[in-house]
Amino acid sequence: MTIDSPDGKDPVTQKLAAYRMKLRDEPNNGTLWLEYGDFVDEEYVLPDEVVRAYENAMKLLPHKDLRLRLGSAHVEAGNPDVGIAMIKDSVSENPRAHGFCFLADAFLRLDDYDSAKQAAEQATSEDPDFEEGYYLLGEAVRHSSREKAVGYFRAAIERDESYALAWQALGRELVADDETINEGIAALEKAIELDPEDGWAMAFLANALWRTDEIVAADKWYRRAMVAFPDCEEMKRWHEQFLDETD
């Protein structure tokens, strides 16, 4: 096993290097491979590395059902048939809301909204109080019905008022309508309060503030969004368009 240590001194990069050094010393530590896979999945866009980590963890921890995480990683890595089948096998053997949410999320990444909706509905059926199922239902129907999506996002927030992603999604939908744009701005501000690193909430907020002629505030949030997601070309295009049209 050869893993190159990355350059850089920021805390996330240092943690990545520390994990890789530990794995050189403990290549048969399944728990360490699992922790490493979770870390890379959260902090980096390296789906093949996540797949490898979870595959090693599964071999070394045969008593753990890691098919949800590994299946999701396969979908992200461009192996959707393998990933979907793995997630389906897990929820078929052990139906639970959490598992159906993994399935719904996988279908959303494939733009299969009907299948995502069915999986999210199964999640809410398994556990009517599980907020993620309602969030995913909103994401599944937002392209066909903004009104229904808003209702589902509100249902998610009713079950967990600190659900930052649901606040972001609610705000994103509400700012698209002039009649609800102010409520949408408030929802996006709440999302950022809960997750100060949410660059998408910042960008959606900037777009909304531009539409309400709050130019200075919009520029501030565009710039903060680009700091949060420095490699996102879409953020840069939005800001460039903003500058061109407000110059």
70-93: per-residue pLDDT in tens? 999 999 999 999 999 999 999 999
| Residue 121 main-chain phi, psi, to 5 deg | -65, -35
Decide: 27 and 2 in contact? Cβ < 8 Å. no
Cα angle for residues 239, 162, 87 (degrees, 5° grid): 85
Q: Mind spelling out the 3-state secondary structure of 136-149?
A: HHHHHHCCCCHHHH
Percent of the chain with pLDDT over 70: 96
160-177: per-residue pLDDT in tens? 999 999 999 999 999 999
Domain annotation for the chain: domains and CATH numbers: 7-79 (1.25.40.10), 95-161 (1.25.40.10), 163-247 (1.25.40.10)
| Overall average pLDDT of the 137-163 stretch | 98
| Overall average pLDDT of the 19-42 stretch | 97
Query: 49 pLDDT band (50/70/90 cuts)?
Result: very high
Q: Which two tokens stand for residue 163?
A: 């659900």
| Overall average pLDDT of the 221-240 stretch | 93
Q: Which two tokens stand for residue 219?
A: 């520029």
pLDDT greater than 70 at residue 58: yes
Q: Which residues contact 188 (CB under 8 A, 6 or more apart)?
A: 167, 168, 171, 172, 175, 201, 204, 205, 208
| Overall average pLDDT of the 174-197 stretch | 97
Average confidence score pLDDT of the chain: 95
Distance of CA 88 to CAs 67, 217, 240, Å? 9, 46, 43
pLDDT greater than 80 at residue 1: no
